[in-house]
């Protein structure tokens, strides 16, 4: 985006101040607003024609032609003019989506027929009894919940696929160590829905066989996320760290080995479960550490009061493509609470984006935006409203 430099500033009378300039700006802004409103009313006519002819809302060739012309005619302000026009086009597309597919949009129909109540009692978790996923399952489904425990994240997805379980409970991100990338990838691969979430406070403990002392410990076992969350502690003590599939499984094996030089990082519940001593509690590097767990299902469930929506999509590798998507949420007054990217395998520097924002699909503006994006993007998946 190019603008004039200071050498091109206009010469102004001495008595010309900001109030004079602001009056001029206010007048121009009123004209812009009037033109914008007029354009949106014309968009209603466009929608009516498209409904009669069956023409698609998103017409990339027409859009590209408009944006190239605007940039060319904008001269030194061409880049800014293109950005402004792109935003107007995006707002218009979303509005047309709302007008055209109020009753018959495919994705909209799924929203209307989604379940409202989480039904089923078979829950699958990765790890073992006493794992943080176990605590998350009890926290979400109730203290009497007795999940099926499986070795890997993949196994939880397969259990839901084969309907050995109705729901899976999986960690998605931690406030210290960040995203659990394997779960993001599996969520996309299986096409499941997120139907709920719960945050679990993480209080890591150093667990060892009965009678062991901290000075005896040389080897520590835990999930990579837990090791990252306790890195300062393990480095200070000079422990050798070993990655494990799950903290509770690590605790279970430390109990089985019964070796005073080996310890696990896990919850105190896991320590109690496997008869281990808590040598030290709260060893995570940062207080207030929490992990966000999601509840996955093969079936879409949108409960009353759902206020968070998760999407995943890919974008063309072009300047401004991500900005254009994000600006549409801002234009509709929607708050984005998280955005995450994952590289696409075999496609250098191409990414799949995961986005969370606040809203409910039964809000017409929210539904129209999601439906509009779903028709415009080469890859788009609604992950859930929960």
Distances (CA, A) of 126 to 21, 176, 190, 206, 277: 64, 21, 17, 21, 23
Separation of alpha carbons 223 and 264, rounded Å: 9
Backbone angles phi, psi at 356, to 5 degrees: -115, 135
How many Å separate Cα 208 from the centre of its chain? 37
C-alpha torsion sign, points 24, 30, 33, 39: negative
For residues 181 and 168, the answer to whether their CB atoms sit within 8 Å is no
C-alpha torsion sign, points 234, 236, 237, 241: positive
Which residues are 343's β-sheet partners?
351
3-state secondary structure of 125: strand
Clarify whether 293 is annotated catalytic.
yes
Separation of alpha carbons 127 and 145, rounded Å: 15
Please give the structure tokens belonging to residue 354: 């995961």
Separation of alpha carbons 102 and 385, rounded Å: 19
Work out whether strand 167-174 and strand 123-126 pair parallel, antiparallel, or are unpaired: parallel
Clarify whether 16 is annotated catalytic.
no
Separation of alpha carbons 306 and 271, rounded Å: 36
E strands in the chain: 123-126, 148-150, 167-174, 178-179, 193-201, 205-208, 219-222, 240-243, 262-266, 277-281, 290-297, 308-314, 336-343, 351-358, 380-385
Which one from 111, 149, 167, 293 is the annotated catalytic residue?
Answer: 293
Q: How many CB atoms lie within 10 A of CB 237?
A: 16
Q: How many CB atoms lie within 10 A of CB 183?
A: 22
Separation of alpha carbons 62 and 172, rounded Å: 40
Please give the structure tokens belonging to residue 63: 């859009």
Which one from 140, 291, 312, 313 is the annotated catalytic residue?
Answer: 291
Please give the positions annotated as active site.
291, 293
């Amino acid at each position: 985006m190019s603008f004039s430099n200071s050498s091109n500033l206009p010469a102004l009378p001495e008595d010309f101040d900001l109030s004079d300039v602001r009056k001029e700006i206010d007048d121009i802004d009123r004209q812009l607003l009037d033109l914008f409103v007029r354009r949106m009313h014309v968009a209603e006519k466009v929608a009516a024609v498209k409904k009669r002819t069956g023409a698609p809302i998103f017409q990339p060739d027409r859009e590209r032609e408009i944006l190239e012309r605007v940039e060319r005619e904008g001269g030194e302000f061409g880049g800014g003019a293109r950005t402004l026009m792109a935003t107007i086009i995006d707002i218009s597309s979303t509005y047309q989506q709302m007008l055209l597919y109020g009753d018959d949009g495919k994705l909209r129909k799924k929203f209307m027929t989604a379940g409202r109540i989480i039904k089923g009692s078979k829950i699958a978790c990765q790890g073992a009894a006493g794992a943080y996923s176990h605590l998350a399952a009890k926290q979400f489904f109730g203290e009497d919940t007795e999940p099926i425990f499986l070795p890997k994240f993949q196994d939880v997805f397969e259990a839901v696929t084969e309907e050995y379980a109705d729901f899976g409970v999986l960690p998605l991100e931690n406030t210290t160590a960040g995203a659990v990338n394997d779960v993001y990838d599996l969520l996309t691969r299986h096409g499941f829905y997120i139907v709920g979430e719960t945050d679990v406070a993480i209080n890591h403990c150093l667990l060892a066989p009965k009678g062991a002392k901290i000075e005896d410990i040389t080897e520590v076992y835990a999930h990579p996320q837990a090791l990252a969350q306790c890195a300062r502690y393990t480095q200070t003590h000079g422990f050798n760290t070993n990655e494990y599939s799950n903290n509770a499984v690590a605790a279970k094996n430390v109990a089985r080995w019964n070796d005073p030089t080996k310890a696990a990082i896990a919850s105190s519940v896991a320590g109690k479960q496997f008869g281990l001593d808590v040598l030290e509690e709260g060893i995570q590097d940062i207080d207030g550490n929490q992990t966000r767990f999601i509840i996955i299902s093969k079936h879409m469930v949108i409960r009353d009061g759902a206020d968070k929506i998760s999407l995943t999509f890919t974008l063309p590798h072009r300047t401004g493509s991500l900005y254009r998507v994000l600006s549409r949420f801002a234009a509709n007054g929607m708050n984005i609470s998280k955005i995450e990217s994952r590289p696409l395998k075999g496609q250098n520097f191409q990414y799949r984006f995961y986005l969370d924002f606040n809203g409910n699909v039964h809000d017409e503006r929210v539904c129209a935006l999601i439906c509009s994006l779903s028709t415009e993007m080469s890859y788009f998946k609604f992950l859930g409203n929960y």
